[in-house]
């Protein structure tokens, strides 16, 4: 009869394969790296352009902090800052508007409603009446100014 043999006798020694070099990378790996680098550069560029776009608004906010007290001269200065912002972002035609058209421009760019009475007091130089509410509206308008988008005035 046959000798009983162990099934383990049929196994051979396990030989570990040689390590595979990580370099050079495969074509899909190079493609993935190129796409990631392109996306990072594009994100940095978009952030930089957005930062540059808001440069004039940041400057206007800094200037408006100098006019915190509510008097006639400060209110006029804030109104001029708002006009400069509109001119910078939307052009001279939008900044040259007056009366109801200027109110529409301010409403579209800042979501702040100005009244004819407030504007006429500002234009006529009536400094006897309190203008603190108008002053606060102008400060709010500068803070909420929309720096891009269609105006369609």
In a domain, residue 65? The reply is: no
DSSP code string of 69-111: S-SHHHHHHHHHHHHHHHHHHH-HHHHT--THHHHHHHHHHHS
Q: CA–CA separation, 33 vs 153, rounded Å?
A: 46
Can you give the pLDDT at residue 57?
Answer: 92
Q: Is the pLDDT of residue 153 over 60?
A: no
CA–CA distance, 147 with 124 (Å, rounded to integer): 29
Q: Give the whole-angstrom CA distance, residue 149 versus residue 37.
A: 30
Distance between CA atoms of 60 and 67, rounded to whole angstroms?
Answer: 11
**Three-state secondary structure call for residue 137:** helix
| pLDDT beyond 80 at 1 | no
Query: Per-residue pLDDT for 151 more than 80?
Result: no
Q: What digits encode the pLDDT tens for the residues 27-86?
A: 999 999 999 999 999 999 999 998 998 899 999 999 998 888 878 888 889 999 999 999
Which range marks the domain in which residue 115 is found? 79-146
Residue 33: inside a domain, yes or no?
no
pLDDT higher than 50, residue 10? yes
Domain count, the chain: 1
Q: Tell whether pTM > 0.85.
A: no
Residues 69-119: pLDDT tens digits?
A: 878 888 889 999 999 999 999 999 999 988 899 999 999 999 999 888 888
Give the number of C-alpha atoms closer than 13 A to the C-alpha of residue 24, restricted to the C-beta side: 4
């Amino acid at each position: 009869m046959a000798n009983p043999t162990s099934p383990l006798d049929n196994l051979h020694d396990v030989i570990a394969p040689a390590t595979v070099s990580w370099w050079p990378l495969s074509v899909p790996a190079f493609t993935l790296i190129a796409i990631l680098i392109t996306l990072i550069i594009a994100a940095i560029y978009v952030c930089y352009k957005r930062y540059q776009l808001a440069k004039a608004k940041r400057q206007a906010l800094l200037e408006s902090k100098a006019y915190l007290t509510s008097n006639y001269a400060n209110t006029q200065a804030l109104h001029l800052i708002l006009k400069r912002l509109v001119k910078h972002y939307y052009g001279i035609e939008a900044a040259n508007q007056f009366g109801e058209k200027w109110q529409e421009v301010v409403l579209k760019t800042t979501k702040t409603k100005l009244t004819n009475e407030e504007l006429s007091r500002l234009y006529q130089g009536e400094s006897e009446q309190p203008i603190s509410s108008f002053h606060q509206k102008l400060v709010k308008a500068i803070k909420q100014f929309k720096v891009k988008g269609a105006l369609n005035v």
